[in-house]
Amino acid sequence: MFGMIAELAKGMGITLKHFFQPPVTTQYPEVKRPVRNRFKGRHELKRYDNGLERCIGCSLCAAACPADAIFVEAAENTDDERYSPGERFARVYEINMLRCIFCGYCEDACPTQAIVLEHNYELSFYDRQSAIYTKDMLIVDVPVNGRPTPQVVEPGVFTKAIPMMENPE
């Protein structure tokens, strides 16, 4: 009985301490609170240094997604119109942010590390339609030394969809 009262007093003590501390309010959106490194925010579709898209349109992210938020439609690359290495690229890539639960399974499933959940958490929409993020919205800017896609490339250079597989040792 006595122990219970002691515990209660201890808890109330903490409450009392905070009662006298000044309030902490971050002035969002003027001030943005930094996020942790492993924070999972809005997805980005990455590119290689030369500007080619990492995404090969394999739909494994869509398969892994527990919320059925991702929709992918693939098409075939040609050397005159190349989006990604290998034969296949994502012609359509959409994520429904209303459905997404930011679990990161899509990241795990991706064989080319094309989809990464980054640190942007500012996701708000006025209607359902604008909650669907298309490929244009998700893909990152072309790197400094890269070229935008589709690219015209030399035949026979980008033949592998999954460019380099390390020797498993």
State the residues that interact with other proteins by CB under 8 A: 56-60, 62-63, 71, 73-76, 86-88, 91-92, 94, 111-112, 159-162, 165-168
Residue with Cβ nearer other proteins (25 or 129): 129
Dist. CA 12–CA 6, nearest whole Å: 10
Among residues 107, 100, 122, 127, which one has the least CA distance to residue 55?
Answer: 107
Q: Bin 156: left if φ > 0, else alpha if -120 < ψ < 50, else beta.
A: left
Peptide bond into 111 cis (omega under 30): no
Residue 92 CB, nearest distance to other proteins (Å)? 4
Residue with Cβ nearer other proteins (78 or 120): 78
Residue with Cβ nearer other proteins (41 or 137): 137
**What DSSP character marks residue 84?**
S
Neighbours of 55 (CB within 10 A): 26
Residue with Cβ nearer other proteins (62 or 106): 62
Residue 66 CB, nearest distance to other proteins (Å)? 15
Residue with Cβ nearer other proteins (37 or 167): 167
Q: Are 35 and 121 within 8 A, CB to CB?
A: yes
Q: Are 134 and 96 within 8 A, CB to CB?
A: no
Residue 20 CB, nearest distance to other proteins (Å)? 58
**What DSSP character marks residue 162?**
S
Residue 167 CB, nearest distance to other proteins (Å)? 5
Residue 110 CB, nearest distance to other proteins (Å)? 9
Dist. CA 81–CA 98, nearest whole Å: 33
